[in-house]
Structure 1
């Protein structure tokens, strides 16, 4: 059951809004009908004053390519319907051509069109009567022209279509001639571009020694692999030679250079002879040293000979080209040593050859690798040059072909438009314009009528309905009092006061009396925590019925056998003595100043109800009401009576109600549709909030049952459920700290 509640509430809000708009319409229907009728009548007059207008229609078919050009296969792009923008429509473009000023001016001139004053028709006026539209899903344009003369309308449409076709043919032919001239200018430039591209490609191949880059790349890769294999073999052989060289070097005890030098000296006869003589001198020296002293002349002489032979031997070594010192022991080698020296020399030669071979192979490999590394760049440059050449050649060939085609097309009658339906003479006038005028008149009448209602509502700031009152004040609704019939009696000079009746006392079974009992019941609900005993009844402005409500509310409570005191605290314009038909010689003002006793001033008007009138009107009522005496009186009233109702002046006119409200248990605010306005309501609410009054709620007085949805429903039905719903308004207190 829970999900159904929002639906009910929503539907009720719709009904309430509908009632609100309906009430506004009922209030303002007369000026709205007057405005609507005037506008519609004016549109009818305008239609009757219009001359009959005839509309002639013709049709043009537009083709994308001319059939003659398609048959020959040349000049197909001359006159072709195409667009520059993706969202544009070629037919819309041709529509604007038909509406262009030059075609319009030619049509006006050839047909000698004139306006009603006999002056040549202006192009702008012509275009206003011309209508061009595309038939749906076709390549056909429909032309329509309106005129008061049917023959003129027909002539205009046919002439405009003929001029358009003529202009279309001339435009296409001019395009072909311009195309021939353009291509003729471009051919020499394109040929030069082709030759430059060919020369650039040839120069590139010559500079980079390019024949076939793909084959060259494959061959280079194979050669690099072969060189890599040879390098590996040479490195292996060189490693073996180095190993053998190391072994021989350890055996010989000298380097290969020393071995070469030793072998050459051993084969020299002069060296061997000198070496033999040196050995003989050394042998003699050994023998003599066994017999003689070192300083003996014979030993000295032998030492001199020995040194002379050594010097001679070194000289022979130098002459043999050996740049290093060679000892006599090295020159005295045997046959085996000599063979080892020769083997070392041969091995050194082998090592040198392998090293040279390895260096050559490495250089060759590096050269091929370098060539291979630049081949991609060369291929890219070659492809770029070849693309340029191909593009230039293609452009050149295309231009050669197109110039022949366009020259043939320039001599053809190329057109892409055809009249498929000439305009016949219309026999009946067009009803479209009168219908439009009437429709616009009705629409404008509705709009102006609605605007009239809105303007009148906006200018009228008075509170008109219960809903407006609730929205402006924002307080809880405690009761709705329907409008009463009143009789007028004189009150002072040139004044009249509307004296309310007492339906609660006089006609207790009426719906109006029930409304006051409902108000009393709601006030009783407010006192569930703390009983309300003293309330101040006031309103925003005068004539909202606060005195009437105070009197009838007091009577309704008294009928429940509760002791009630009704105090008229409006010492500016008192009313309660008129309501109850009492004298006002003695009252509240006299009791406050001590000139009269309370018991003597109060009057019992019905069982359980006593009334204290205002008494003599003082010069400053606020001074009396805002006094300790008044506060003590209210306390005594509260102790003596079950309920005290104080009728106070309006909030905006005086501060009396705000002063009394601070002494009472709460303030009951009155509002009457048609009397107060939004400004007075806002001001009253601000005054209550700033003075921190305990506002019990709002009572709407004098409500029109025809305009108030909830009130009408209650007061026209005896359904108990509806009554309970209206009485179940929950009070929201205005609390001030």
Structure 2
């Protein structure tokens, strides 16, 4: 602690030794600072206030039909991005600030200075914006603010329309792209369906469903075939019994007409069945082909039986049976109908067998085909959905643009027109003058400190011995007489007077400056 106090005392003695040089430096800095403060040109501020009304009665009514942008956010973003180089250049031309600029460097410097001076502030949360600019000429400042108000309103009115047009153009391009995609997807889907037309069903079943349906139809057809065969066998037994009963009735006249009621009834029944089949199917249908084949076989059988009966009647005329009873004819008709039904069901079973075999063979490639169809269908549905959404958005964008044209983005109201302040707002000389005084005092102290360090003097014998590393033999003290003491007092008074004079002069200058500013206000 003693060593620190000793160092401080030594520094203070060195500064006191060069006090007059420091005081001269303080006076010089004070004079230069005062002149500099008074030489700074006065700046006047021009300002205007704008209220942005973002409410519209049409917007709640058009909710859900048109896209409604966040107007408050747009205006806030516009206020933050308005001070750009193109806008500042336009502002300089509108306010005629570039009339005295002869070079590009001067133009760039003017643009930078205006950009740093312009202010756009949002006052609170009521969409009130303050536009301000400072300049040495109040009329220029006012003209700049007027031009800035015009640019602010014009930029806000044109941005929404430009965004709407850009959005519509982008959506139109996307719609054209998706139209091409839809056409390509439809072509691929059509080609796939034509290539696999045999595997398609009206019910929309997959291959497993088709195989199950065919299997069920085959099982039902086989059941009906067994039922028809049982019915035919029963009718045949009854017919055989009737023939046995009528076997004793012989023909007495060999020339009597020979009839085959059983075969005739079967042929009639088969022909009626053929007519019914032709009403439902074509000539190439298996049931129709089978019915025609059965009729031909019955007619051949009839001819053979007539020939055999004729031969038997001629050989033994008394052995020809009489088959013209009503029971025999009815049983013959039933037998013929059963034969027709059995033949028809056999053809149906054969057809279903073929379909079942074909379906089982198609099952081997069905998963790949179904996966390909699902992929094609999914791609088509996605493109179709996106296309419909884009068309809907295009209509919404068109309606939004019409809404903006009808109502405008916002209503700009000029609350306070551009006005320049009657007195300068800068510089604040009442604040700069005390700062200049403090700078002067700091400069004086700094000069004395530097001189004390540059031209160091030992004020303590022990410190000198320790610094030089030499033994101390003795110390000679200075005896101050009355004249020297009187001179020291006189110098101290002069120094204090000079220092006080500096403070007093600054005080008088501050008072005069204060009175002048109040009179100007």
Q: TM-score range by the shorter chain?
A: 0.3 to 0.5
TM-score (norm 2): 0.45
Q: Whose strand fraction is larger, Structure 1's or Structure 2's?
A: 1
Give 1 or 2 for the bigger CA radius of gyration: 1
> Larger RCO: Structure 1 or Structure 2 (Cα < 8 Å, ≥ 6 residues apart)?
2
Give TM-score scaled by structure 1 length: 0.34
